[in-house]
Structure 1
Amino acid sequence: MGCATGLVKYFVFLANLIFALAGLALIIIGCLYKFHYSEASAALPSDFSLAPWLSIIIGGIVFVTAFLGCCGAVKESTCMLTTYAIILLTIFIVQVAIGIYAFLQIKDTNEFRHSIRQNYQKAFDKRDQTPQANETIQLVQSVMHCCGVDGPDDWNYLPPTCCENKDKNCGKASSNLFQIGCSEALFTFFEKSFKIIGGVVIGVAAAEIIGAVFGLCLSSSIRNHYRRNIYA
């Protein structure tokens, strides 16, 4: 093979190392949301309940595909490289579809804020009825440094989680009282998180297109090289 083909081969291999890391990042992000911030995620609209699982699944597929691409480049397997390119293009199409759907769901900021407040209000109203709802409220207040749905006035008696360091003497006159409501804190948190995730997905998608093109080029070059050797 020529120098250019050799460079493409190494590029495909290095690009797939990046894909593998990106896949792991998506898996980690999905796991964090699903298992660490699951209580906070309860405030999201129901359409987003599958978001952590989608992140984990797509991350796993990207990681396996990257492994396939690395093996195809090292072994110079046209079958593996072609399969790798087709899977990358399929993942790209799925990511674009999911991205467009997510954008359409949250393009109205006020509606998204209202939806989060409505869902969190339901959990807040059930805090005295079910231990799970109360645990959710207390955990969100502690982690997000917020109090109540719209502020401390939502509580008749402030719990320790409404104050920094879980002050047992937490009151409305306390200097370390969290003033921001949890619905607004959750909205800010998810809005920033979605921007970060969106940036990662866009970067991965762009790299996937480049990787797929180079994978197909490398596969074609290897195939032509073998044919020239056969008929030489």
Structure 2
Amino acid sequence: MARRRDYSYISPCVKWTLFAFNFIFWLFGLLLVGIGLYGVVFTAQDLHGLKSVKIAYIVLTDLSGVMVALGSIIFVVSFAGCIGALRENLCLLKLYFWSLTIFLVAELIFAIGCILFPWKSREIMESLLSKRLIEDYRESQNTQNFVDSLQRHFECCGITTDGYQDWNANEYFNCSDHSPSAEKCGVPASCCIRRKNMTHLNSMCGYDVQKKKAARGFRDN
């Protein structure tokens, strides 16, 4: 009786290339989840004393929560591709294929929307970012550090075309008459220009900036 030959549905070259590629992304997803979980714990401790629902909302929409969600998706999809290629498991390979297909279609829809409606898409993105980053600036240390880093790196102040006036949407920097905040009508210190010969930045340099029509030593969009 003839001995049955082993048969592989996948080329060895494709198999090990797919495995190596997804293994790298699997490690990357795992790293994102680990960093995100550390940030979630840090943020939850920082918000001690608030209501559970508010803490959950801030944590889930915080940068660390986004990292956990994104890392989990990358981890699951790359795991399916990695093990599916290694074991030649058609179910896992189909999961990997359809996941990538969905991501590609979503990216194409987003890109087409941005091309066809550039101003509307920009308006939506600015509105979402302004609400999450500007209004919740003081709610999370992670968000605060992220916004400060962006403003220093890109040398800007605010997110939308209104520039530094975006900070009027934050309850601490709001210019309304009933605002009790000491930072009323101000902006974060990260909006201030740090000159080359400066060794220390004045943390109060952004105070009362929104009252001025043209501020010197200070960034705008």
Q: TM-score, normalised by structure 1?
A: 0.46
Larger relative contact order, structure 1 or 2 (CA cutoff 8 Å, min sep 6): 1
Higher helix share: 1
Q: TM-score, normalised by structure 2?
A: 0.48
